[in-house]
Amino acid sequence: MAIYRKSSRRKFLEKVALGTGALTIPNIVTGKTGQNRVEILHREYRTGKYSANDKINLATIGFGIQGIGDTATAIEVSGVKLVGVCDLYTGRLERARELHGNELVTTRDYREILADRNIDAVIIATPDHWHRRIAVEAMKAGKAVYLEKPMIQKVEEGQDIIQTEKENKAVLQIGSQGISSLGNEKARELFREGVIGDLVMVEIFNDRFSSEGAWQYPVPPDASPQTIDFDTFLGNAPKVAYDPVRFFRWRNYQDYGTGVAGDLFVHSFTTLHYVIDSKGPERARSTGGLRYWKDGRDVPDIMMCLYDFPEAESHPAFNAILRINFVAGNGGGGGFRLIGSEGEMSVGYNSITVRRNRMGMKPSGYSLRAYTNAVQEQIRQEYDKKFSAVDREMNHPEEIVYQPPGDYKGGDYDHFYNFFGAMRGERKIVENGTYGLRAAGAALLANYSYYRNEIVNWNPDLMQLV
């Protein structure tokens, strides 16, 4: 019998009964009727000072929107110092010096960063089509690598990264930060406790309603062939004439990015795989289109994908639907719901909401009205004998919200804290190359299905298209 079937309704109820049980302490705050708020235990961090010789010297390769954000979070961790930045646009190098001082090593050539023996670790936040090459070269150069998601642009690139990671015993962490958060950890714990019964389906959506949300980023007025190394940006992509729109809005093009699947679905799979301890789906079918943002991009702004997950030791077979909408006139929003036989769990970046429900097993007047009064009474008595004990057992709170304390630093910080802790031998990497490929591979199935207009099959064990 699969492990997931060993969880029971009674086991969960015993743990979440109000006023008792491990899952309801230390702090319960009762809100509206039927809702209870539970504070997740806080995280402990090492905050001691490090000498200059003990500091980790960090460089960032790709200092755009994500690179700037990653860097700001990374240097919040004790014992980490930013010493270098690489970018192909001189304006970003100037921005790096504005933010972090003129003593930084700045360059347009990432190989100078990798050749610098003073640098211990690199953040790689380049366009997707550069991920594999720079990550492999960085690990071979002896650097610890924090590689932004998706780990790869094409699934066949993944094994090269994993092999290099193993051969060089490299510290490699993929940058889907939510996996390290208190929220994801609590969701994983609750799922293992059987909080929602047997998993039946997963619904994940992300609605956006802004030009920035649709990646229509501004092009700076000083953009020119002199300030941008456009030929290097192209890399192994098809050669085209200088085009600053492609450079600054690269997510909108198949040649450089991975569309909504690689940019957004991958976060969902990183969290989902972690929470339910899954290796991923085995089949996918997607649809969508370019409905509104017809600005020259060649990736869809609407995408929906259906996934089939096989039975595993930690979960039953189930279905998942992921969708993205960049034209959400409702103002936008998002959701991540695990729906089970006894309830649902909504997973936020740092908080979790559990809703428990009881399935109506006894027939009501709707179905009984087709029978005589005598037969109706006989049916009621039979159902009372069969289900009354179960109904009495289902004495539970309607809703529980798990949330971190107010001073929690967040999943982004925790992800870097784990990364640098692994470099020091104090912690373990939570998202290595294998994990990263399983998340990216599952996400990119949506692209393969969309552009081929067919169902695609995936081997989650071997991490290969079938």
- Report the CATH number of the 52-179 domain: 3.40.50.720
In whole angstroms, give the CA distance from residue 335 to residue 321: 11
Parts of the chain with a pLDDT under 70: 1-35, 388-397
Domain ranges of the chain: 3-42+187-406+433-465, 52-179
Q: How far apart are CA 62 and CA 109, in angstroms?
A: 11
Q: pTM of the predicted model, to two decimals?
A: 0.91
> What pLDDT sits at residue 52?
78
Per-residue pLDDT tens for 140-177?
A: 999 999 999 999 999 999 999 999 999 999 999 999 99
pLDDT at 7: 47
- Fold match flag (3-42+187-406+433-465 vs 52-179): no
CATH number of 3-42+187-406+433-465: 3.30.360.10
Residue 38 has a pLDDT of 82
The amino acid that residue 284 corresponds to is A
- CB within 8 Å of 122: residues ≥ 6 apart: 58, 59, 60, 61, 113, 114, 138, 143, 144, 145, 146
